[in-house]
Amino acid sequence: MTYLNGKTILLGVTGGIAVYKSVELLRLLTKAGANVHVVMTKAATEFVTPLTFQTLSCNPVHTELFNLIQEQEIGHISLADRAEIVLIAPATANIIGKIAGGIADDLLTTTIMATKAPVLIAPAMNVNMYQNPIYKENEARLRELGYHFVDAETGSLACGWEGNGRLAKPERIFDRASALLAPSDLKGETILITAGPTREELDPVRYISNHSSGKMGYALAKTARDRGARVILVSGPTCLEPPLGIELINVESACQMRDAVFSMVESCTVIIKAAAVADYRPALRSNEKIKKRGKNLTLELEKNPDILTELGQMKKPPLLIGFAAETNDLQTNATAKLTAKNLDMIVANDINQEGAGFNTSTNIARLLYRNGTVEPLELMSKTRLADIILDRAGALLKDKR
Ligand code: CTP
Residue nearest to atom 4 of ligand 1 (CA): 306
Give the ligand 1 atom nearest the CA of 278: 8
**C-alpha span between 396 and 228 (Å, rounded):** 17
Q: Quick one: which atom of ligand 1 is closest to the CA of 305?
A: 8
Specify if 90 maps to a domain: yes
End position of a domain, from candidates 131, 162, 180 = 180
Question: Do 170 and 261 sit in the same domain of this protein?
Answer: no
Beta bridge partners of 185: none
Among 159, 239, 255, 268, the active-site one is 159
Q: Is the domain of 162 the same as that of 195? A: no
Whether residue 390 sits in one domain with residue 267 = yes
Nearest 5 degrees, angle CA 84-CA 29-CA 49? 100
Residue 96 lies in a domain: yes
Q: What is the mean pLDDT of residues 34-46?
A: 95
Count of CB atoms situated within 10 Å of the CB of 316: 4
Between the two ends of the chain, the Cα-to-Cα distance in Å is 27
- Final residue in a domain of this structure, among 180, 205, 230: 180
To the nearest whole number, what is the mean pLDDT of the chain?
93
**Is the pLDDT score of 68 beyond 60?**
no
CA 325 to centroid of ligand 1, rounded, Å: 9
Q: Is 16 in contact with 124 (CB distance < 8 Å)?
A: yes
In a domain, 295, yes or no: no
Confidence (pLDDT) at 70: 61
The Å distance, Cα 242 to ligand 1 centre, comes to: 23
Whether 67 and 145 map to the same domain: the answer is yes
pLDDT tens digits along 330-389: 999 999 999 999 999 999 998 888 888 777 888 899 999 999 999 999 999 898 899 999
Is residue 251 within 8 Å of 258, Cβ to Cβ? Answer: no
Q: How many other β-carbons are positioned within 10 Å of the β-carbon of residue 291?
A: 7
CB 255 within 8 A of CB 378: no
Query: Residue 117 sits in which domain range?
Result: 8-180
Q: Kindly tell me if the per-residue pLDDT of 224 is higher than 60.
A: yes
Name the percent of the chain lying above pLDDT 90: 85
Q: Which residues contact 252 (CB under 8 A, 6 or more apart)?
A: 198, 199, 201, 236, 237
Query: Taken in order 201, 207, 212, 213, is the CA torsion positive or negative?
Result: positive
pLDDT digits (tens, 9 = 90+) for 166-214: 999 999 999 999 999 998 999 999 999 999 999 999 999 999 999 999 9
Name the residue of 281, 306, 333 to mutate for ligand 1: max ligand atoms within 8 A of Cβ: 306
Q: Would you say residue 335 lies in a domain?
A: yes
- Same domain, yes or no, for 159 and 78? yes
Atom index in ligand 1 nearest the CA of residue 321 equals: 15
Residue 65 pLDDT greater than 80, yes or no: no
Task: Tell me whether strands 230-235 and 190-195 are parallel, antiparallel or unpaired.
Answer: parallel
Q: What is the mean pLDDT of residues 207-233?
A: 96
Residue 67 pLDDT exceeds 90: no
Same domain, 95 and 144: yes
The residue whose CA has the least distance to atom 8 of ligand 1 is: 306
CB burial readout 323-352, b (16+ within 10 A) else e: bbbbeeebeebbbebbeebbbbbbbbbbee
CA–CA separation, 177 vs 183, rounded Å?
12
Say whether both 214 and 308 belong to one domain. yes
Examine residue 337 and state whether it is found in any structural domain, yes or no: yes
* 272 strand-pairing partners: 193, 321
Residue 51 in this model has a pLDDT that exceeds 80: yes
**Residue 268 bears catalytic tag:** no
- The band of 27, judged by pLDDT with boundaries at 50, 70 and 90, is very high
Nearest residue (CA) to ligand 1, atom 12 = 323
Question: How many domains are there within the chain?
Answer: 2
Is 133's pLDDT higher than 60? yes
Spell out where 45-189 has E strands.
Answer: 85-91, 119-123, 148-149, 153-156, 162-166
Give the per-residue pLDDT at 78.
83
What's the pLDDT score for residue 352? 86
Q: For residues 86 and 111, is the Cβ–Cβ distance under 8 A?
A: yes
User: Which residue has the least CA distance to atom 28 on ligand 1?
Assistant: 279
Q: Which amino acid is located at 393 in the chain?
A: A
pLDDT, residue 194, reads 98
Residues 6+ apart with CB under 8 A from 63: 39, 40, 41, 42, 45, 50, 107
Q: Of 14, 223, 239, 33, which is closest to residue 231 (Cα–Cα)?
A: 223
Output the pLDDT for position 72. Answer: 58
98-121 average pLDDT score? 95
Whether 167 and 204 map to the same domain: the answer is: no
**Is residue 68, in this structure, part of any structural domain at all?**
yes
pLDDT digits (tens, 9 = 90+) for 284-304: 999 999 999 889 999 999 999
State the Cα–Cα distance between residues 261 and 386, nearest whole angstrom.
20
Show which of 180, 210, 242 is a domain's final residue.
180
Which helix (H) or strand (E) element contains residue 11? strand 8-13
Whether 67 and 116 map to the same domain: the answer is yes
Answer yes or no: do 174 and 219 share one domain. no
What does DSSP assign to residue 248?
A: E
Do residue 31 and residue 135 come from a single domain?
Answer: yes
* Cα 214 to ligand 1 centre (Å): 15
CATH number at residue 66: 3.40.50.1950
Q: Which pTM was predicted?
A: 0.84
Omega cis (within 30) before 204: no
Whether 241 and 209 share a structural domain: yes
Give the residue-averaged pLDDT of 131-149: 97
Which residues, judged by CB distance below 6 Å to any ligand atom, belong to the binding site of ligand 1? 254, 273, 275, 277, 279, 304, 306-308, 322-325, 337
